[in-house]
Amino acid sequence: MISTNQFKNGTHIEIDGKIWKIIEFQHVKPGKGGAFVRTKLRRIEDGSVIDKTFRAGEKFRPVRTESRKMQFLYDSGEAAVFMDSRDYEQIEIPTATLGDSMQWVLPNADVEVLFVDEQASDVQVPSTIEMKVTQTDPGLKGDTASGGGNKPATLESGVTIQVPLFIEEGETIRVDTRKGEYVSRA
């Protein structure tokens, strides 16, 4: 059994026969009353997200997870298609289940696919990735009074993030995938 004290982001637990992934959690110790844990959970079946509060020390059944290296082939609209590099078997994972993680993955990229109780359920994206800027406006000198400032830039995966004014089209930048923020030049 796993207790609320052992919660980690990304851990899978079973509640009422359904499997949930812990997206984020927070231990709260109010001045009056017992401690509790506030969580944000994503259901593996359909990707729906809920907020749930548990009493501190509550116990849950941990779910067996396994990670396999697979190649992302393409997005069919309804699902993302992956190929196992060992036996060339192809699997589809519904895009609703994957959430925002696929916006950081390019076709033919190798990713870690997470299997929960032998069922493909999630893609583990590195916390930082390097991607090329495909479109951004030129940064003009004198745009800001303090020398800082940001502008929107579209990356090769199609996602748009804010970057500093000195970033130009064609440059490769490092991005924090958890927050969707610019980190540095690559």
Whether residue 113 is found in the same domain as residue 147 = no
Whether residue 136 is found in the same domain as residue 173 = yes
Last residue of a domain, one of 44, 62, 80: 62
Work out how many domains the chain is built from and give that number: 3
For the cut 60, the answer to whether the pLDDT of residue 143 exceeds it is no
Give the phi and the psi of residue 6 in degrees, each rounded to 5. -100, 10
Whole-number pLDDT of residue 142 = 58
Q: Which of 24-28, 145-149, 151-155 has the lowest mean pLDDT?
A: 145-149
Last residue of a domain, one of 19, 46, 62: 62
Cα distance between residue 111 and residue 4, in whole Å: 29
Give pTM, 2 decimals: 0.63
Whole-number pLDDT of residue 145 = 53
- Concatenate the DSSP letters of all residues of the chain into one string: -EEGGG--TT-EEEETTEEEEEEEEEEE--SSS--EEEEEEEETTT--EEEEEEETT-EEEE--EEEEEEEEEEE-SSEEEEEETTT--EEEEEHHHHTTGGGG--TT-EEEEEEETTEEEEEE--SEEEEEEEEEPPPPTTS-SSS--EEEEEETTS-EEEEETT--TT-EEEEETTTTEEEEE-
Whole-number pLDDT of residue 101 = 77
For residue 140, the enclosing domain spans 128-185
Whether residue 58 is found in the same domain as residue 6 = yes
Q: What is the CATH number of the domain that holds 135?
A: 2.40.50.140
For the cut 60, the answer to whether the pLDDT of residue 144 exceeds it is no
Whether residue 172 is found in the same domain as residue 160 = yes
Last residue of a domain, one of 11, 37, 62: 62
**Measuring CA to CA, how many Å separate 150 from each of 137, 161, 164, 178?**
11, 10, 4, 19
For the cut 70, the answer to whether the pLDDT of residue 80 exceeds it is yes
Contact 40, 23 (CB under 8 A): yes
pLDDT tens digits for range 6-22 = 888 878 888 888 888 88
Whole-number pLDDT of residue 164 = 85
